[in-house]
Amino acid sequence: MMRRANGLVMRSLRYGHVRLWKMFCNNPVPDKDLTAAQTIWDYMILNHTPRKSDIILVLGNHDVRTADYASNLFLDGKADCLLFSGKVGVLTRGKWRKTEAEIFRDIALTKGVPEERILLELQATNTGENVAFSYDVLEAKNLLENLKSIILVQMPHMERRVYATFMKQWTGDPTKLDVTVTSPPIPLRKYPNPDVGSLKAVITVMMGCMYRLKVYPETGFQIYQHIPDVVWDSYLSLLRSGKYNGHIPL
């Protein structure tokens, strides 16, 4: 019964927004904008190689491929525990009836991850809370004492922001951990799907991440990340176009 229910969840997630996605896809991205977006995309991806770690922490989002990829890492023996974090965020508000963590958990179960190997953090509403509240879950389970390494899983265009946030918001000393950040290996041009929307929608989310990567170190939310001139120029080019600013507070 559980496997059948999880199959229904997957089909619902896969096809629930197809019509909306097709409508969005009627808005192509100009080549100039795509070149700029690719520059930012490449910068955001850290190119870490996942290696055997103590735990895999999956930060909730609106792309279920993140859960699928993290589950594959677990099944490949990259860790003995999966921690899914997330209640609801800007990208998932009104999207699902369950929390992000529960949706991701259901996918992991469908793929054969044992339920006893899954932990849930159900209160986080942003990346900083994903990190801080996940620490609390691990502390409550007495899993921090022997924690030496961790794999962080998110969407490709959020990798660098996740790293910068983790190194600032982790309650313990993150420099004592071997931190790996990874994401589903999907290129920018192929990333759009019914869950994340059109290419324009993906770039819009990435622009919001880029803005926060620049501003948040000044507010104490993240550690500083050097941004090469070519990356920042690409960001400014897209910003001036006015077409991808939906996640930037202006």
Quick one: pLDDT at residue 26? 52
**pLDDT tens by residue, 134-173:** 999 999 999 999 999 999 999 999 999 999 999 999 999 9
What is the mean predicted confidence (pLDDT) over 86-115?
Answer: 94
Where do we find the tokens 């899914």?
84
21-80 confidence digits (pLDDT tens): 454 455 689 999 999 999 999 999 999 999 999 999 999 999 999 999 999 999 999 999
Domain ranges across the chain: 29-44+187-241, 53-182
> How far is residue 209's CA from residue 222's CA, in Å, rounded to a whole number?
12
pLDDT of residue 81: 97
Q: Would you state the pLDDT for residue 90?
A: 86
Of residues 52 and 2, the one with the higher pLDDT is 52
CATH number of 53-182: 3.40.50.620
Q: Say how far residue 247 (Cα) sits from the centre of its chain.
A: 15
Going along the chain, which residue ranges are E strands?
55-59, 82-85, 118-121, 149-153, 178-182
Res 22: pLDDT: 52
Q: pTM, whole model, 2 decimals? A: 0.89
Instruction: Say whether pLDDT at 189 is over 80.
Output: yes
Closest CA to 54 of 28, 84, 82: 82
